[in-house]
Amino acid sequence: MRSCVCLLAALLVAAAPIGAQPFAAPRDSATRVLMSRLATLSADSMEGRRTATPGSARARAWLVQQLTAMGAKPLGASYEQPFRLRPRGAGATDSITGVNIVARIPGRSTAGGMLVMSAHYDHLGVRNGEIFNGADDDASGCVVLLTVAEQLLRDPPQHDVILAFFDAEEMGLQGARAFVNAPPVPLASVAANLNLDMVARQDAGALWVSGTSHYPFLKAVAESASKASGVAVRFGHDTKDLKPGDDWTNSSDHGVFHGKGIPFLYLGVEDHPDYHKSGDDADKVDPAFYAKNVTFAGTLLRALDRALPRFPVR
């Protein structure tokens, strides 16, 4: 995700200690599970999860196994929803197959409206012999989806929640585009998209909530989730007056939902020194910061679920 090189990231590169130590191992069991999942999905064996590679297939098999084991049902006959795409870049002519993974947690109510919670499982693959593990980008978001799915299965939401693990985000939001162009559910019933992309790194010390300048009615919902969870967040990165790259409106899969007029909230961190580098590894993640962001995301999803009947008609 994201192509911006902001000044802050440049300063952090300059300030980063050489040979920084990994963070201490987490003590509580929920955080241990979180970090174990993050390490698995961003392991070298996944070979950077580039679309249409054996590493991508391994990552997909692991995600499907996790969903199956917890009892989350696929949306439709299969978790796997393939689509064709043409990779970007010079000389790219042959189309390849990407595969989204989509599950559905049924809501308690028969009232209409549903939420789509998303993250992308693809990353950059292997370049010049270096594996780009993409722990933050975006194994971190996928593991949050798994964690929230377990919570929703234990205590179902009011409305249906679609969990979308998109493919080919790094090739131009292509998995999300395939989803909205051939939607497995009527788009009119999708009340909002909550997209997570890069939610584990604490270099700049803040989780951002983006999208409320486009959809102001969602700000109070996010503020209530921040208060209820005790997790401070910042709002912004969603206005046109920002310098190029700092407006994140179209910088990850939520942009595709926004393009269809579907309200979105996006959770993410500022770019960090390992953004789109081979050093984006799980041992750079502060377990305490990541765990807090998981708590906020789960609380926010619940808050959106409760507030959904009051969303403006579109």
Judged by CB, which is closer to Zn ion: 1, or 115?
1
Residue closer to Zn ion by CB (options 99, 142) is 142
Peptide bond into 138 cis (omega under 30): yes
Q: Which stretch binds Zn ion (CB under 5 A): 92-100, 189-197, 224-232, 280-288?
A: 189-197
Piece of 41-49, 95-103, 147-155, 196-204 that binds Zn ion (CB under 5 A):
196-204
Residue nearest to Zn ion (CB): 1
Q: How far is the CB of 306 from Zn ion (least distance, A)?
A: 28
Q: Which stretch binds Zn ion (CB under 5 A): 90-98, 191-199, 237-245, 253-261?
A: 191-199
Cα→Cα distances 132→124, 172, 184, 220, Å: 6, 18, 31, 37
Q: Is 1 in the site for Zn ion (CB under 5 A)?
A: yes
CB of 221 to Zn ion, least distance (A): 24
Cβ distance 34 to 291 under 8 Å? yes
Tokens representing 2?
């994201």
Q: What is the smallest separation between the CB atom of 140 and Zn ion, expressed in angstroms? A: 9
41 binds Zn ion (CB under 5 A): no
Report, in Å, the least distance between residue 8 CB and Zn ion.
18
Calpha distance 99→78 (Å, rounded): 11
Size of the site for Zn ion (CB under 5 A): 4
Closer to Zn ion by CB, 136 or 160: give it.
136
Nearer Cβ to Zn ion (47/138)? 138
**CB 198 to Zn ion: min, Å:** 6
- As a whole number of angstroms, the distance between CA 225 and CA 297 comes to 8
Query: Is residue 197 near Zn ion by the rule CB under 5 A?
Result: yes
- Nearest approach in angstroms of CB 68 to Zn ion is 25
Q: CB-wise, 160 or 270, nearer to Zn ion?
A: 270
Q: Which is nearer to Zn ion, 215 or 275 (CB)?
A: 275
Residues in the chain: 314
Of residues 125 through 164, those in contact with Zn ion by CB under 5 A are 137-138
Closest CB 253 distance from Zn ion, rounded Å: 8
Beta carbon nearer to Zn ion, 221 or 266: 266
Interacting residues with Zn ion (CB under 5 A): 1, 137-138, 197
